[in-house]
Amino acid sequence: MTKVHLDHAHNLHLLKEMIRIRRFEEKCFELYQAQKIRGFLHLYDGEEAVSVGIMQALAPQDAVVATYREHGQAIARGIPMTALMAEMYGRREGCCRGRGGSMHIFDRERRFYGGNAIVGGGLPLAVGVALGDRMQERGSLTACFFGEGAVDEGEFHESLNLANLWRLPVLFACENNLYAMGMRLERAEAEPDIHKKAECYRIPSEVVDGMDVVAVEAAARRAVDSIRAGNGPYFLECRTYRFRAHSMFDAQLYRPKDEIEEWKRKGPIVRFQGWLSENALLHADELERIEVEVAAEVDAAVAFAESGTPEPVEELERFVLMDAVPA
Amino acid sequence: MTPVRITYRECCRQAIREAILTDPRVFLMGEDVGRYGGCYAVTKGLLEELGEDRIRDTPLSESAFVGAGIGAAMAGMRPIVEIMTCNFSLLALDQILNNAATIPHMSGGQFAVPLVIRMATGAGRQLAAQHSHSLEGWYAHIPGIKVLAPATLEDARHMLKAALADPNPVLIFEHMVLYNMEGELDPTIEAVDIASAKVRRRGQDITLVTYGGSLFKTLDAAAALAQDGIEAEVIDLRSLRPLDVATVVASVAKTRRVVIVDEGWKSGSISAEIGMRIVEEAFFELDAPIGRVCSAEVPMPYAAHLEQAALPQPATIAAAARSLVGPA
């Protein structure tokens, strides 16, 4: 149950998932420069092991709540790149018909509840989805992603308290990338050991190397086993790093360049790929096949978005008020 | 059927009880709604009858339990969230505005938020500046939610059902002074809509537009005006969003004069919105400037005489009406 089954197929799957996210976002960066994508764009480079590792432990009936830096979660959860890219293009064919954009990805079919761009704002929502699921005896859990910046918000503390008070099935996944926009962890936290904050609410917590996809998956499986056994919420502090700027408007005055280079050397893809190669678990042609397949997938997503249509302006006010609750 | 004597509070309680008994998706959560029986005693006895799963006492964390209501609604439940007073709702404003009101549109219609949030509003009990404000007009500014203000026993008894049947987030503002109001509940009314304004008194000389806790003060003012030979038409808006402008305009077209009575502050308010809608849609029907009677622009004071001086009163409403009608 708990163990990660590192068979050959699973190894390749983990690697490919991380590469899919990386290449998708490289394309997003390029398209932003070309002004095809506008607004805020927060890239996930360096943090791929967190979303990919955790998604391995989730079942289709589980729910996901994420932040405005959620392309990784969206792709790892299985939302098609085509619908994602079309959303970033602001097209009708986008997953939110162009109303959400990069920061607000939703997918009802995959129980993906956003894409929340208010730091900490997704946590109460996740507690509620978990409450609703439990009251309907669905046997599912809610994985709630947030950055370490969110732990300073009151909503974080309110949500952890309520989640454990009611023993709700929530997997709190903190992506600690050391910087809340430009604010470094030690400059913001009286207690920089994030997982200790969960202990105050008597929620079992772990610190995980967020650059190690296998370690993340193993921890997520332990967390999911505990939650499904009815023990209430579980907290993972995944220590990771963001390779790129916070958004597309960031001169990165708050961190030294060599720090970024040092973290890149232990990046989740280079590390896992290196480990696989060293142990003769990955052939060069397999890696090449992954890259070719991913490149084709990204190209198809771009082509899909390019050929997308604008939502008619007459539809502007549609969904402000709903006519019915979607079945 | 004979009418029964009942309080507004009991109407609210019966509505919640009925909703929970008839729909397994409905539950109530909020601060002290269970063992304490509700800070205004609306939910007294419900925990004992309906159990802890359906009547949930929450910690003092408005943002978490309002957000939890939103999440539960998105996951298929029909939560009723109670916030003690609308001043406290500001602690959950992020969830109400950034999530409840936004997600259906932002998700391209993939998710609805069928949630009801009830809260007490208004002044009159000397609770001072952090328990007495009328913020329903603020909420009526927000697209994506509905804002209701039940004033009558029938609306207190039946609006909740309609609100729960609505696929959108609905905020219900119950004026705290009304909870003790006792009267006869019309047994012939079994359901009400949550979109239309109602004419509560017919008249042809002036229109008085109001809602919620100010309705009965306005009706008192209308009775006083009648003694002077001025017949006022009193409109109870019932819903502040959407706003039933047609009913207001139809009345103004008949009376040609209007006073708006609102316990909220005047500046940037729902009374300003109503006045502007009348200007937009019925400017040429008017024979006099639009009048307004609102709360004084102060934080609500504690001392009884100051509090009463800050609020719309039958006398000030009648005076505003007389000034527009002129000497009889």
- Measure Cα distances from A184 to A176, A196, A245, A247, A271 in Å: 11, 18, 14, 16, 25
Q: Note the pLDDT tens digit of each residue in A289-318.
A: 999 999 999 999 999 999 999 999 999 999
Q: Note the pLDDT tens digit of each residue in B121-177.
A: 999 999 999 999 999 999 999 999 999 999 999 999 999 999 999 999 999 999 999
What local confidence, expressed as pLDDT, does residue B60 receive?
97
Nearest to B70 by CA among B31, B107, B98: B98
Q: Note the pLDDT tens digit of each residue in A236-275.
A: 999 999 999 988 888 899 999 999 999 999 999 999 999 9
Given the structure tokens 């005896």, which residue do they identify? A137
- Measure Cα distances from A256 to A79, A137, A178, A240, A318 in Å: 35, 50, 13, 16, 47
- Where does residue A81 fall: left (phi above 0), alpha (psi -120 to 50 degrees), or beta otherwise? alpha
Cβ atoms of B57 and B33 within 8 Å: the answer is: yes
What local confidence, expressed as pLDDT, does residue A5 receive?
82
Task: Give start and end residues of each alpha helix (H) in B167-284.
Answer: 215-227, 245-255, 270-282
For B62, the closest chain A residue by CA position comes to A158
| Angle at the Cα of A64 from the Cα atoms of A174 and B108, rounded to 5 degrees | 125
Cβ atoms of A173 and A145 within 8 Å: the answer is: yes
What local confidence, expressed as pLDDT, does residue A3 receive?
77
A246: its two tokens: 């916070």
Q: Average pLDDT of chain B?
A: 97
Domain ranges in chain B?
A: 4-185, 198-325
Q: A325 and B106 in contact by Cβ < 8 A?
A: no
Sort out which chain B residues have CB atoms less than 8 A from A325's CB and list them. Answer: 112, 114, 167
Nearest to A16 by CA among A240, A219, A298: A298
> Out of A133, A158, A326, whose CB is closest to B64?
A158
Task: Give the integer Cα–Cα distance in Å for B69 and B53.
Answer: 14
* Residue A2 confidence class, pLDDT cut points 50, 70, 90: low
> Out of A118, A125, A325, whose CB is closest to B71?
A125
Nearest to B250 by CA among B320, B202, B195, B192: B202
A244: its two tokens: 């790129």
Q: How many residues does this entry show for chain A?
A: 327
Residue percentage of chain B with pLDDT more than 70: 99
Is position A313 within any domain? Answer: no
What local confidence, expressed as pLDDT, does residue A1 receive?
53
**CATH number of the domain within which A230 lies:** 3.40.50.970
Rg (CA), chain B: 20
Domain tally, chain A: 1
Q: B59 and A128 in contact by Cβ < 8 A?
A: no
Query: CB contact, 8 Å: A279 with chain B?
Result: no
- Where does residue A97 fall: left (phi above 0), alpha (psi -120 to 50 degrees), or beta otherwise? left
Nearest to A167 by CA among A123, A234, A236, A233: A233
Q: Note the pLDDT tens digit of each residue in B281-313.
A: 999 999 999 999 999 999 999 999 999 999 999
What local confidence, expressed as pLDDT, does residue A205 receive?
98
Report residue A270: phi and psi, to 5°.
-60, -35
Q: Note the pLDDT tens digit of each residue in A139-194.
A: 999 999 999 999 999 999 999 999 999 999 999 999 999 999 999 999 999 999 99
Bridge partners for A115 per DSSP: A66
Report residue B315: phi and psi, to 5°.
-65, -40
Considering only the C-alpha atoms of chain A, give the largest distance between any 2 of them, rounded to a whole number of Å: 58
* Residue B327 confidence class, pLDDT cut points 50, 70, 90: low
For the segment B17-29, the average pLDDT, to the nearest whole number, is 98
Cβ atoms of B178 and B156 within 8 Å: the answer is: yes
Annotated catalytic residue, options B131, B133, B158, B175? B131
Is position A148 within any domain? Answer: yes
Q: What is the CATH number of domain B4-185?
A: 3.40.50.970
Annotated catalytic residue, options B62, B82, B136, B154? B62
Is position A324 within any domain? Answer: no
* Residue B328 confidence class, pLDDT cut points 50, 70, 90: very low
Q: Does pLDDT of B3 surpass 80?
A: no
Bridge partners for A34 per DSSP: none
Q: A128 and B70 in contact by Cβ < 8 A?
A: yes
The answer to whether B305 is a known catalytic residue is no
Given the structure tokens 């610190």, which residue do they identify? A207
Which residues, other chains included, contact B9 with Cβ-Cβ below 8 Å and sequence gap of 6+? B40, B41, B42, B179, B180
CB atoms near residue A41 (< 10 Å): 23
Query: CB contact, 8 Å: A123 with chain B?
Result: yes
Q: Can you give the pTM of this predicted structure?
A: 0.97
CB atoms near residue B316 (< 10 Å): 16
Cβ atoms of B260 and B291 within 8 Å: the answer is: yes
Sort out which chain B residues have CB atoms less than 8 A from A98's CB and list them. Answer: 108
> Out of A96, A114, A127, whose CB is closest to B68?
A127
- Measure Cα distances from B140 to B121, B170, B241 in Å: 14, 11, 5
CB atoms near residue A230 (< 10 Å): 9
CATH of B198-325, one of 3.40.50.300, 3.40.50.920, 2.30.33.40, 3.40.50.2300: 3.40.50.920
Is position A327 within any domain? Answer: no
A323: its two tokens: 């006519």
Nearest to A39 by CA among A100, A97, A94, A84: A100
* Residue B179 confidence class, pLDDT cut points 50, 70, 90: very high
What local confidence, expressed as pLDDT, does residue A122 receive?
98
Counting Cα atoms < 13 Å in the Cβ hemisphere of B256 gives: 8
Q: Note the pLDDT tens digit of each residue in B223-255.
A: 999 999 999 999 999 999 999 999 999 999 999
What secondary structure does DSSP assign to A230-251, as a single string?
II--EEEEEE----S-SSSS--
Chain A nearest C-alpha distance from B47 (Å):
17
For A324, the closest chain B residue by CA position comes to B167
| Residue range(s) defining the domain that contains residue A285 | 8-306
Query: CB contact, 8 Å: A175 with chain B?
Result: no
Q: A106 and B59 in contact by Cβ < 8 A?
A: no
Is position A39 within any domain? Answer: yes
The answer to whether B62 is a known catalytic residue is yes
- Measure Cα distances from B27 to A233, A289, B157 in Å: 22, 53, 17
Report residue B292: phi and psi, to 5°.
-135, 140
CB atoms near residue A146 (< 10 Å): 27
Q: Average pLDDT of chain A?
A: 96
Chain B nearest C-alpha distance from A179 (Å):
23
Chain A nearest C-alpha distance from B76 (Å):
7
